[in-house]
Amino acid sequence: MKPTRAAALTVAAAALAPALLLATPALAADTAGTSPTSVAATADTGAVTTPVDEMSDDDVRVAVFRILGIAQQRNDKAVVREATKALDDGSPEALRAFLETGYRLAQAEDDRVAVARILGIAQQRNDKAVVREASKALDDGSPEALRAFLETGYRLAQAEDDRVAIARILADPTISDALRAAAGRALDDGSPEALRYFLEHGRYEV
């Protein structure tokens, strides 16, 4: 039985960013518009931030444990390393220092690895937009640039490359009418998920 289009698009969305599963933290530190001493204080949502200097020592310890747990799930090695160091030290000063600065820098280290992996795959596939945007992020090197690429830039750049790939398919005069129609629908939809779905599944289903 074929999966529904909605389910397949969900799969396509996940396929757009394989490295993000390893790199995107659920407890992202605020990097723009708020104090750098604010970190996510709740797991799962990643939406609640609390200034570190307003957190009790117990809350700080819990926040570090939560970050460590997420990082272990995502294999974020630098975050695991630095969170473990802070917890092994155990002092309020070490734990607060991790939340205020160490987490952001460790996440950037893991993000840099994730972007480099994406770049390597894109170079092999000749995905020019992804190569361009990943290279920009690595050349910039800031935690903010690396995170922005992983959260939004990669998805949009991959869609740009996917659009070019579908246009190449349409340029082939020998393709079937059914394949031409499916490619046209993907381009008309225009979403990164629809483009990726066509390239990975849709063109083989007609």
Structure confidence at residue 50 (pLDDT): 80
Report which of 117, 92, 113 is spatially closest to residue 18, judged by C-alpha positions: 117
User: Which position has the token pair 């799969």?
Assistant: 11
C-beta of residue 53 within 8 angstroms of C-beta of residue 106: no
Measured CA distances, 79 to 7, 121, 133, 195 (Å): 33, 24, 24, 34
C-beta of residue 109 within 8 angstroms of C-beta of residue 128: no
Say whether pTM exceeds 0.85. Answer: no
C-beta of residue 115 within 8 angstroms of C-beta of residue 146: yes
| Low-confidence residues of the chain: pLDDT under 70 | 1-48
Q: In whole angstroms, what is the distance from residue 59 CA to residue 96 CA?
A: 10
Return all residues near 73 (Cβ < 8 A) that are at least 6 apart: none
φ and ψ at 141, to 5 degrees? Answer: 80, -10
Residue 38: CB atoms within 10 Å: 19
Q: Which two tokens stand for residue 130?
A: 């992804």
Number of domain units in the chain: 1
The residue range of the domain holding 46 is: 5-204
Which tens digits make up the pLDDT trace of 81-116?
999 999 999 999 999 999 999 999 999 999 999 999
Structure confidence at residue 206 (pLDDT): 86
Measured CA distances, 91 to 85, 94, 133, 184 (Å): 11, 5, 40, 60
For residue 129, the one-letter residue type is: A
Residue 57: CB atoms within 10 Å: 11
Helix axes 154-170, 5-16, angle to 10 degrees: 120
